[in-house]
Amino acid sequence: MNPTLGNPSSIGGPQRSAPNKVAPADGGDGLIDRWGRRHTDLRISVTDRCNLRCFYCMPPEGVPLLPREAILDFDEIVRVVHVAARLGVRKVRLTGGEPLVRKNLPALIGRLAGEAGLADLAMTTNGTLLADYAQELRRAGLQRVNISLDTLDRRQFQALTGQDALDQVLQGIEAAQAAGFWPIKLNALAIRGFSESQIVPLVRFALERGLEIRFIEFMPIGIVNQWSPERVLPAAAILSILRREFGSVEPVDSWGPAESEAGREEETASAVSLVAATETRRGASFQPPARCYLLGDAGARIGIISSMSRPFCRSCGRLRLNAIGELRYCLFAQRGWDLRTILRRGGDDEELIHIFRAAVQAKPLRPNTPGQQPQTHLAMCQIGG
Ligand code: SAM
Ligand code: SF4
């Protein structure tokens, strides 16, 4: 068991680490780019496959699937994470496609949980399979889970994802809570003409259950996501909907105190009223890139990731590894750096480190150029969200 990651039996304890303050294990400077940004966060897509077809991510017929042998195996992923940790990466988030459709995912979690140097191991999921896996994932050492939920309306959910699976997601959220994950973040994509009616119900849903909710502006990622500038529901529009409902909506400049054990106890209590739930929000863990806002007088907090209207590139310390082992410095990157070839020909760590450094050095100040569609041939689910 990796002592840094904590003991899964102490279920769901809040994050206590300060990843950016930990020196890279290789004694070097870590992954610092030309603009001084230190890269401590790695998102890993474990599969390009998914059991949903969210229109903003995949076409209804899906995308041509990668041959299984093209996808990194667990040994390869663990090796990349080991090298990344040597270079100062402290946070790993598994994503996809849908990470839970990858066979034996808890086994990978268990191996990554044993990686010395990692302070945070998390996963982003659509939640449909969480009811089956939540306990096992927790036992394996997964620390945190983000669940994507864009609507609470069953018909809208089906129109969005192609599947009548809202109940499964709701059961998945309950299972994640029962397994002791905390905090649990809900990610809701904000799309103009689609999301307006769902902003308030989603906020109430989250607050009543002690979940954190973040709205994410729709981004032009990948080749098939039906994005247009008119479909972005910007932070300002989300805030005005919230203001109408909650009265005041104030940005919180400081991210506030770290989560407290006391806050956690309140989270797990059965209080379901908005007021009771808002008390627990005092310990919420919104961190950049989410900007945090206080709703009304009671202190309820929500987050908004305003990737389009107010990009957070200047403070971005994130790298991405897709399922076939290409390293990218951004969702908007137009190319990837191939780690798989080195892994499969038995290359040493120094070669992998060289690729990590090359990708980081190539990162522009602002890869996300407003109004410009990225020139990638991949869909979002193939890049890894
Ligand atoms: N299948 C998992 C899920 O849906 O949570 C993980 C992969 S998914 C690609 C990761 C996240 O990317 C989801 O929260 C999804 O809403 C978000 N996403 C997908 N396409 C997006 C887009 N065009 N703009 C912004 N976020 C997007
Ligand atoms: Fe699947 Fe997630 Fe993409 Fe939806 S957003 S199609 S759940 S990978």
In whole angstroms, give the CA distance from residue 296 to residue 164: 34
Per-domain residue ranges of the chain: 37-255+279-383
- Return the ligand number nearest the Cα of 190: 1
Q: Is 149 in the pocket of ligand 1 (CB under 6 A)?
A: no
CB of 147 shorter than 6 A to ligand 2 = no
Kindly give the distance from the C-alpha atom of residue 57 to the centroid of ligand 1, in angstroms, as a whole number: 7
pLDDT tens-digit map of 149-200: 999 999 999 999 999 999 999 999 999 999 999 999 999 999 999 999 999 9
Would the CB of 189 count as within 6 Å of ligand 1? yes
Q: Which residue has the higher pLDDT, 331 or 110?
A: 110
Q: How far is the CA of 157 from the centre of ligand 1 (A)?
A: 14
Q: Residues 326-354: what's their mean pLDDT?
A: 95
Q: Decide if 221 contacts 374 (C-beta within 8 A).
A: yes
**pLDDT of amino acid 298:** 66
The predicted-structure confidence for 280-294, as pLDDT tens digits, reads as follows: 333 444 456 788 999
Judged against a pLDDT cut of 90, whether residue 373 lies above it is answered with no
* Pairing label, strands 291-295, 249-251: antiparallel
Provide the residue type at 22 as one letter.
Answer: V
**Mean pLDDT over each residue of the chain, to the nearest integer:** 83
pLDDT at 288: 60
| Residue 299, pLDDT score | 72
**Residue scoring higher pLDDT (315 or 373):** 315
* Mean pLDDT within 50-69: 89
Choose the weakest-confidence range: 18-32, 49-63, 361-375. 18-32
Residue 252 has pLDDT above 80, yes or no: yes
**Contact of 83 with 352, CB cutoff 8 Å:** yes
**pTM for the model:** 0.86
Position 224 confidence tier, pLDDT thresholds 50, 70, 90: low
pLDDT of 303: 95
Asked whether 129 lines ligand 2 (CB < 6 A), one says no
Pseudo-torsion of CA 236, 240, 241, 247, nearest 10°? 140
CATH of domain 37-255+279-383: 3.20.20.70
Residues in CB range of 19: below 8 A, 6 or more apart: 40, 41, 90, 91, 119, 120
pLDDT tens track for 259-317: 333 333 233 222 222 322 333 333 444 456 788 999 987 678 999 998 888 888 888 99
With beta carbons less than 8 A apart as the criterion, state whether 328 and 336 touch: yes
What's the confidence (pLDDT) of residue 223?
64
Q: Is the CB of 289 under 6 A from ligand 1?
A: no
Ligand 1: atom nearest CA of 189 is 16
Q: How far apart are CA 363 and CA 101, in angstroms?
A: 31
Q: Is the pLDDT assigned to residue 254 strictly greater than 50?
A: no
Euclidean distance between CA atoms 183 and 177, whole angstroms: 9
Q: Is 62 in the pocket of ligand 2 (CB under 6 A)?
A: no
From the CA of 96, the nearest ligand is: 1
Confidence at residue 29, expressed as pLDDT on a 0 to 100 scale: 73
pLDDT at residue 382 tops 60: yes
